[in-house]
Structure 1
Amino acid sequence: METLIVYKSVFHGNTKKIAIAMAEVLNAKFLDVENVDKKIIGDYDLIGFGSGIYYDKPQKKLMEYIEGLNNVKNKKAFVFSTSRQNRSDYNDWFKENLSDKGFEIIGEFHCKGHTIFKGNPNEEDLENAKEVARNIINTYNQILDMPEDSTNI
């Protein structure tokens, strides 16, 4: 499973910390969105997208990147975010827009960021991100093991 994490981390590096923790478990390459050519998405089986949340939405450059992606087939994705508030619905923009592009979302993570909560993401947050990454691997492997025509079972 070739895995890429595309993220945007602006102020305190919160989102990058989560990207690194997840990449460690997933054996993934992780790149700031400004360093990722859209063409390489085709080279990966699983792609993670992550950002800090600004005014209830992901960072603008990552939103523009996702909006500019071509539609895909047979691509799995996961999403993650950090914010001042502990609201997992901040991932909804990612899930909706990536699903519209043809990605199957197989995991998500959210935690508080440093802005108000100094010290976040903390060690517990990083361990939780790693656990989500392990669950993503399990989900991905289960999908691969499913018979192609499993809808008729």
Structure 2
Amino acid sequence: MRKAIVYVSVHHGNTEKLVKGIAEECQIDLIDAVNQPDADLSSYDMIGFASGIYFSKFHQLILEFAEKNLPDEKKIFLLCTYGGSANYKSIEQILDKKRSKVIGKFGCKGYDTFGPFKLVGGIAKGHPDEDDIKNAVEFVTRL
């Protein structure tokens, strides 16, 4: 079964740290949506979308990538890093249009210095940490 994770990781590299940890342990291709905006996903049996949460949404580039490149009726899993809380609604709306089935979701804290968090030196320092990555690997392994 061919698996891929499409991701966007900006600011502190939280999401990239998470997906690279997964890729080291699992047989999975990583697709950086910033550098590969036209990647072909048709040959993958299972696709993950990974992003930090920005204003309660997945990053706009991931949403645009999914809208443009995701074939219909794929098995999907979702990964996110966040300072506040996980929120999958923005990507799920696109997946519904594509008649794709979400088979799992994983979220963990990520270092966040946006807005007022900058004044206090950020929140969730050191995350994702080794335990977060271990839990993400276990999540993907169980899919």
Matched ranges for 1:13-32 at <5 A? 13-32=13-32
- The answer to whether 1:95 aligns with 2:92 is yes
Match of 1:127 in 2: 134
User: Given residue 93 of structure 1, which amino acid in structure 2 is its aligned partner?
Assistant: S
RMSD (Å) for aligned C-alpha atoms: 1.7
Q: 1:105 and 1:27, CA in 2 relative to 1: closer, same or farther beyond 3 A?
A: same
User: Which entry has the higher C-alpha Rg, 1 or 2?
Assistant: 1
- Residues of 2 paired with 1:35 and 1:80: CA distance? 19
Structure 2 partner of 1:106: 103
- The one-letter code sitting in structure 1 at the alignment partner of 2:132 is D
Quote the Cα distance in structure 2 between the aligned partners of 1:94 and 1:58. Answer: 7
The residue identity in structure 2 corresponding to 1:133 is V
| C-alpha contact 1:5 1:48 (8 A) present in aligned 2 | yes
Contact 2:53–2:81 (CA under 8 A) maintained in structure 1: yes
Are 2:41 and 2:70, in contact at CA under 8 Å, matched by a contact in 1?
A: no
Tell me the equivalent position of 2:10: 10
The 1-side partners of 2:37 and 2:72 are apart by 15
Take 2:91 and 2:25, find their aligned partners in 1: how far apart are those partners?
Answer: 22
Q: Which runs of 5+ in 1 are unaligned?
A: 137-153
- After TM superposition, give the deviation of residue 38 of structure 1 in Å: 4.2
| Cα distance change on mapping 1:70 and 1:111 into 2, 3 Å | closer
TM superposition shift of 1:23: 2.3
Q: 1:105 deviation in Å?
A: 1.1
Q: Which runs of 5+ in 2 are unaligned?
A: 113-122
Cα distance in structure 2, aligned partners of 1:21 and 1:106: 20
Amino acid at match of 1:57: K
* Greater helix content: 1
Summarize deviations over 1:3-32 as a string: whole Å, max 9, x none: 111000001110011111222343111021
